[in-house]
Structure 1
């Protein structure tokens, strides 16, 4: 069952971290700074709770959504070029067969050693969600990183604001000072980590590229440069279209991780050649 994916130390660690950040931000630092009974404190608590809720929901969707497996009975479409015979086409088809599982691989699909199957448009296997990131849950993963980054930055502002206004001269306990410094350092490190990851996936999103394809493209570009050619990622069909292929054509639904009506079967994708 999908819920068994939560029986994992990394996932439990993420859930505990989320709980600690939320509790500390709202009921310790925000309450100490503005007071939860004040209008400013209440408004900030509502905003941060909303961000934390979206982060948690995106996390659940990332964990529980199947990334996309190769459809049963899939066979690659081999073009009949120059009157090639059936034997030649069969040989071409064998090149697209996975050597680790009894299935043919569609374009952009890769075999995951952890999941022990081929995953459509596989980006990577993420330990922190105990699941592959692929065709059907990449949007949820991207929004998880985005909401997590915004939440951690918001928490950083609250901790810094609380620290600035606090009367440290009257605070003689060194444990409180250590707690503030440690909390600020941890949340700043978390913000930096998530922000870097978000920047990376924004680059991949706008170029319609997966992490695997990025590294494959790096080698392809190097080989093309040696032969005096220029390598272009075949699935990069323009920034806006690249974004809509992942987040959807409706901007209103971009921020909802479970809105997947626009996601196709994942066995074929438009290329630059199709737009010419």
Structure 2
């Protein structure tokens, strides 16, 4: 006779060993020594990149129309509800608010339209320009700070990003319009929130507290009573002076002219939602772009510079942005406050002045050192 020993552990180990062998075979067939986590994430994101490259330009006009409709709706509600409310409260204050509000609105509209219709700037074709590399897609020289936009399918001078809300790239020629539009829109929404919070409180909160509804229909003529026995006046029907009686005192609200309608409440709610969302989203984006401007870089350059800092830090070297002239000078160059231009005329008021230079070459912090070296060589 033959004895058979049942060893379940050996069977489990054998089964797991075969599974591991199968996994190893699959991995060996797909092995790539250049494979890493970032490459795998890029492959997974490729469908999204494809959709953005092929369909973003089609969605752009709808985004622009959406911005125009939202802006018009907010302005209409301000004049429909806010203007009469403030005029009844203080005509003098209303005049001040109208001046400030329309100044903000003028800047918002001007800078948005200019950001949409102004080409960001492209390298000239057929001309000899100073280039740092050749664009693999355009097969054309790429000047410094120039990047290829896959949505516009062309290279953009000093490209920051492609903005679907503008249906346009943000680059050398319209970057200032884009930033000032965001700034004035954020300030405008804060302005509406600050001077409209009391209106919202009265329309939404107080009106809900004072609302009441009767459980049974009122009876009697010409005087109607509710369940508590209080006399309820009816507008344009009951006149107590003609009847020679006084209404019984009660703490219930009397329907009078100017009662808040449901449409006004919905409009106030819509305005509050839009303004708060814009302040949070666009405000954070404005602060981030302000930080980039202070550092003398664009959105694309911020990622490139961050990678360079990490790479050089490994060899104990420091990366210096060649376009960073300090916060004050960076802002002056970005806003174009050169040649006698001032903040009062060219920033606080709409101005179509062009940025300094042509976008093909930018001054760097090394230019001064070169001039000093040349002056030493040629006394």
TM value normalised by structure 2: 0.62
Distance 2:82 2:157 in 1: 44
Structure 1 residue 257 displacement after superposition:
5.3
Q: 1:15 aligns with which of 59, 68, 89?
A: 68
Where structure 2 has 5 or more consecutive residues not aligned to the other structure, the ranges are 1-57, 213-259, 370-379
Distance 1:164 1:182 in 2: 14
Distance 2:102 2:367 in 1: 44
The structure-2 alpha-carbon separation of the partners of 1:72 and 1:260, relative to structure 1 and needing over 3 Å to count, comes to farther
Where structure 1 has 5 or more consecutive residues not aligned to the other structure, the ranges are 78-92
Could you tell me which residue of structure 2 aligns to residue 227 of structure 1?
A: 315
**Which stretch has the larger CA shift, 117-126 or 233-242?**
233-242
Could you tell me which residue of structure 2 aligns to residue 253 of structure 1?
A: 346
Could you tell me which residue of structure 1 aligns to residue 275 of structure 2?
A: 187
Q: 2:186 aligns with which of 128, 149, 163?
A: 149
* Structure 1 residues 191-250: Cα deviation after superposition (integer angstroms, max 9, x where no partner): 111111110111111111100000111111111111111112111012222112121122
The structure number with the bigger radius of gyration is 2
Aligned residues: 257
SS at match of 1:149: helix
Residue 158 (1) aligns with residue 195 (2): yes
Structure 1 residue 32 displacement after superposition:
2.6
Does the CA-based 8 Å contact 1:121-1:266 persist in structure 2? yes
**Which stretch has the larger CA shift, 122-131 or 250-259?**
250-259
RMSD over aligned Cα, in angstroms?
Answer: 2.6
Could you tell me which residue of structure 2 aligns to residue 129 of structure 1?
A: 166
Please give the residue correspondences for 1:33-112 in structure 2 after superposition, counting only pairs within 5 Å. Answer: 33-35=86-88, 38-77=91-130, 96-112=133-149
Structure 1 residue 52 displacement after superposition:
1.1
Q: 2:85 aligns with which of 32, 35, 40?
A: 32
* Structure 1 residues 129-170: Cα deviation after superposition (integer angstroms, max 9, x where no partner): 100000000111111011111111111112212134554344
